[in-house]
Amino acid sequence: MFVDSHCHLDMLTPVKDSGSVSEVLADAAASGVSHLLCVAVDFVRLPAMLSLVDSHENVFASAGLHPSSQVEHEPTQADIEQAARHPKVVAIGETGLDYHYDSVPREVQRERLRRHVRAAVTLDKPLIIHTREAREDTLAILREEGAERCGGVLHCFTESWEMAEAAMELGFYISLSGIVTFRNAESLREVARRVPLERLLIETDSPYLAPVPMRGKENRPAFVSHVAEAIARERGMPVETLAEATTENFFRLFKDARRAA
């Protein structure tokens, strides 16, 4: 069985059309996906997202503000902690730095990340880190704020092996998405081959980044099996072995997540 360690259920078309995640979860179950983590990008939509997943014991949530989200008022550390105390919330994020789009001033992004790290350390919940073209600053802030005390994951990883090594030294996991199946992603496939199995997670980041052979479609948690199959081929192992390892890794990292009956 697979775990989709990073998806945005509330952004999927079937969910927006019906107000229910049942269809998406049924498709996921049919593809062998047993558990999902629905990741927040802001606090305005968080209550509605939590209500969507609240009755599904195999779906967990996070609380955080994406580095590219433009908001009128920046959440304080107390705001983050309060939201993260919801019983469904097992992680802080996604947070981080995105210097590719630069839709939010970099200094604002850096201070935002620091507040999230401090909240995560206080609550002992792992971080979900988004980082794009900001390797040095991301690692520096994680080190300076003591992120090794709570750990976390670099999600939808697209950076260098050197950054992966540095993050793992801080106790972080590396999560790979459908990008690993793209034709021009050979450097990422090298990372997929080299990350120790005990530090690896898989995700869809749905509705974005549908993997081959689903390119051009809206991504769904059901498609995480294609991510797993691609990584297993690169590593020369049975996909069942990779599925079991990444599932165990998920529950080791997100320790507040409980396996569904």
pLDDT at 52: 95
* Residue 249 CB coordination number (10 Å): 22
Give the pair of three-digit tokens for residue 169.
Answer: 């030294």
Domain boundaries, the chain: 2-253
Q: What pLDDT, in 10s, does the model give residues 192-221?
A: 999 999 999 999 999 999 999 999 999 999
Give the DSSP per-residue string, 46-63: HHHHHHHHTT-TTEEEEE
Q: What angle do CA 74, 77, 79 make, to 5 degrees?
A: 70
* 178-216 CB burial, b ≥16 within 10 A, e <16: bbbbbeebeebbebbeebeeebbbbbbbbbebbbeebee
> Mean pLDDT for each 10-residue chunk of the chain (261 residues)?
98 96 97 98 97 96 98 96 98 97 96 98 98 97 98 97 98 98 97 98 98 97 98 98 98 97 82
pLDDT at 261: 82
- pTM score: 0.97
When the candidates are 3.40.50.920, 3.40.50.300, 3.20.20.140, 3.40.309.10, the CATH number that belongs to 2-253 is 3.20.20.140
CA dist list (Å): 104 to 65, 71, 133, 213, 228: 12, 9, 14, 34, 33
